[in-house]
């Protein structure tokens, strides 16, 4: 039976039945001494602690915690029940630590803040506001919905990239096999036959010879270029230029802008619904934007709001980042005191826009991929068939 189908009494009974087992297996970060463990345990801990917690796991956790709090179960008992149902080993240890900290007097939001790799500033800020206002259960439901929406958005974009990446990877592997194993054999045959080779065959043979004998040079050059690029994009100037380039890319740039807007508007809805101050909300949105242009703009908006301006007015001068539709809808939300609901509706709209943009991107990439594959096949085929036809003419 799934956890969602069980009653609270059944869950509490399950907790009591496994209480002794939990005490033996519980690992609490900050209390558990890994140095005293055998080497194989420390290696396992190292791997476990670096496993990622995805958005769906967080959504499931927030939803079930909200259900239990809504049913009157204290937060400590709720966490102790949930720790037995978390499948991700790293997340299980995190929830263990949350329960330990709450048991020892810390607020739930303060306990969450110890794990920035799992709970970002938005999660912590929303929970802290829910604790202050006294509607933590409702806030958790909103957080759960937000995490599920972001996860669906992630899967949509990821799914669109699987096909082109798979095809291009297969093409690269096929060309490497041909250049490394097939072409050298044909080169020996052509040399022995004494046939005159066309320029395209000579070019392919030269490339094949280089790949077969100097493949390590290609790896070194690739690693060097990748390191230089990584260093550049991690500088302040390089990151800004790279983020600007991404937003201006044909087709992909539109997808990135719409996905960013969907995420930011969804977070704006949740944060304002929780009662968090608008200047703190904008600060969290700025840090969570994932793009330097959006970060700079949202920081400017935060300063403008602190001076008394409205959000919609501050966003109106950057239609490239925040289209007129967004600013107009936010203006309506501000005027009607329903900013949270309005932001949620606009986020829903942009999620649908992202789906359309993904379909358009996939449609646009298909002919490009077909052309690339066709050109690669044609070049290899001509380089091989040309000398063979010449040899057959000589034989005749």
Nearest to 321 by CA among 250, 260, 382, 234: 260
Q: Return the CA Rg of the chain.
A: 29
pLDDT of residue 289: 86
**254, 328 Cβ separation under 8 angstroms:** no
How confident is the model at residue 77, as a pLDDT?
92
For residue range 192-228, list pLDDT tens digits in order: 776 677 788 788 888 888 888 888 898 999 999 999 9
148-154, Cβ contacts within 8 angstroms, sequence gap of 24 or more: 148/55, 148/56, 148/59, 149/262, 149/266, 149/347, 149/351, 150/55, 150/263, 150/266, 151/54, 151/55, 151/56, 151/59, 152/351, 153/259, 153/262, 153/263, 153/351, 153/354, 154/55
What 3-state class would DSSP assign to 40?
Answer: helix
Cα angle 270-255-276, degrees, rounded to a multiple of 5 = 15
Per-residue model confidence (pLDDT) at position 41: 65
In angstroms, the CA 246 to CA 254 distance is 9
Contact call for residues 28 and 114 (beta carbons, < 8 A): no
Rounded to whole angstroms, the Cα distance separating 334 from 342 reads 9
Residue 74 to residues 44, 59, 71, 324, Cα–Cα distance (Å): 33, 20, 9, 45
Question: Cα separation of 99 and 101, whole Å?
Answer: 6
DSSP per residue over 152-201, as a string? HHHHHHHHHHHHHHHHHHHHHHHHHHIIIIIHHHHHHHHHHHTPPPPHHH
The whole-angstrom separation of Cα 170 and Cα 308 is 56
Q: Are 272 and 278 in contact (CB under 8 A)?
A: yes
Residue 102: its pLDDT value, please? 92
Give dist(CA 112, CA 123) in Å, integer. 8
The closest alpha carbon to 312, from 328, 296, 290, belongs to 328
pLDDT by residue (tens digit) across 24-65? Answer: 345 666 555 555 666 666 666 777 777 888 889 999 999 999
Q: Among 152, 123, 22, 114, which residue's Cα sits nearest to residue 65? A: 123
* Structural domains of the chain, ranges and CATH numbers in brackets: 3-119 (1.20.81), 145-396 (1.20.81.30)
In 147-168, which positions are buried (b, 16+ CB within 10 angstroms) versus exposed (e)? Answer: bbbbbebeebbeebeeebeebe
How many other C-beta atoms lie within 10 A of the C-beta of residue 375? 10
Q: What local confidence, expressed as pLDDT, does residue 191 receive?
A: 72
Phi and psi based region of residue 291 (left: phi greater than 0; alpha: psi -120 to 50; beta: remaining): beta
Residue 136 · residue 127 · CB < 8 Å: yes
pLDDT at res. 239: 92
Report the candidate in 76, 110, 82 with the shortest Cα–Cα distance to residue 6.
82
Per-residue pLDDT, 392: 59
Contact 106, 131 (CB under 8 A): no
Which pair of structure tokens corresponds to residue 370? 């077909």
Enumerate residue ranges in the chain where pLDDT < 50: 1, 17-25
CA distance 233 to 222: 16
As a whole number of angstroms, the distance between CA 254 and CA 265 comes to: 16
């Amino acid at each position: 039976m799934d956890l969602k189908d069980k009653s609270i009494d059944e869950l509490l009974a399950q907790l009591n039945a496994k209480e002794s087992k939990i005490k033996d297996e519980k690992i609490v970060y900050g209390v558990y001494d890994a140095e005293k463990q055998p080497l194989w345990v420390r290696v396992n801990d190292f791997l476990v602690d670096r496993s990622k917690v995805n958005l769906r796991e967080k959504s499931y956790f927030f939803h079930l915690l909200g259900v239990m709090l809504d049913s009157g179960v204290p937060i400590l008992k709720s966490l102790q029940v949930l720790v037995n149902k978390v499948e991700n080993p790293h997340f299980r240890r995190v929830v263990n630590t949350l329960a330990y900290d709450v048991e020892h007097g810390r607020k739930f939001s303060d306990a969450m803040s110890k794990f920035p790799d799992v709970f970002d500033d938005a999660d912590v800020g929303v929970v802290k506001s829910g604790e202050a206002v006294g509607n933590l259960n409702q806030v958790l439901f909103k957080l759960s919905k937000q995490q599920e929406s972001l996860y669906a958005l992630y899967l949509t974009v990821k799914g669109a990239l699987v096909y082109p990446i798979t095809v291009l990877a297969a093409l690269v592997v096929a060309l490497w096999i041909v250049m490394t194993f097939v072409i050298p054999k044909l080169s020996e045959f052509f040399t022995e036959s004494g046939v005159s080779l066309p320029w395209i065959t000579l070019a392919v043979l030269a490339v094949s010879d280089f790949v077969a004998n100097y493949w390590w040079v290609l790896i070194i050059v690739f690693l060097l270029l990748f390191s230089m690029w990584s260093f550049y994009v991690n500088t302040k100037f390089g990151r800004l230029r790279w983020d600007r380039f991404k937003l201006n890319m044909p087709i992909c740039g539109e997808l990135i802008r719409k996905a960013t807007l969907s995420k930011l508007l969804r977070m704006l809805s949740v944060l304002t619904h929780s009662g968090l101050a608008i200047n703190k909300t904008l600060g969290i949105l700025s840090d969570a934007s994932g793009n330097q242009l959006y970060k700079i703009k949202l920081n400017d908006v935060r300063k403008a709001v602190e001076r008394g301006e409205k959000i919609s007015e501050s966003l109106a001068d950057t239609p490239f980042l925040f289209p007129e539709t967004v600013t107009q809808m936010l203006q309506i939300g501000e005027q009607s005191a329903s900013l949270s609901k309005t932001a949620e509706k606009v986020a829903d709209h942009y999620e649908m826009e992202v789906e359309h943009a993904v379909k358009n991107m996939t449609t646009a990439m298909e002919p490009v991929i077909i052309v690339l594959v066709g050109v690669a096949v044609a070049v290899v085929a001509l380089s091989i068939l040309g000398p063979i036809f010449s040899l057959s003419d000589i034989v005749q």
